[in-house]
Amino acid sequence: MTSTTLSTTRRPATVVTATALTTLLALVGGYGAIFFTGLDGWDAAGITFVTTYDAIALFGLVSAWAMFLGNAHGRVGVAAYAIFMIGFTVMKVLTIQELQAIPFGVVALGVLAAALHPRSRAYTG
């Protein structure tokens, strides 16, 4: 007589945290880029910025979904997106003194830590 057991693997909290925060960063940041750029009027530079920023945000969303499903490339993409957001925050604070960007950088640091955590690496193997 053979016995079959169902093996289920729960997602680690680090994966859930990284993907949820990445989704939040991408959606809020993408919307904010459109909204606040539109307040200044739509010129060629504004359209280029919004298109580029939202394309990177879309990359973050796709990476978060892939990581959530256990894909190693998704984890790398989430880490890359977090590094971009940290750099973007530093650039905004240093060049235009936009202190309101600091929470985005802090959340991105949390995403990077969660994505690089050993449990996340083991899950996305």
Contact between residue 88 and residue 32 where contact means Cβ atoms under 8 Å apart: no
pLDDT tens per residue, range 59-111: 999 999 999 999 999 999 999 999 999 999 999 999 999 999 999 999 999 99
Residue 112 exposed, middle or buried by CB count within 10 Å (0-12, 13-18, 19+): buried
pLDDT tens per residue, range 51-61: 999 999 999 99
Cα dihedral sign, 27-21-115-64: negative
Instruction: List the chain domain ranges.
Output: 13-124
Mean pLDDT of 113-124: 97
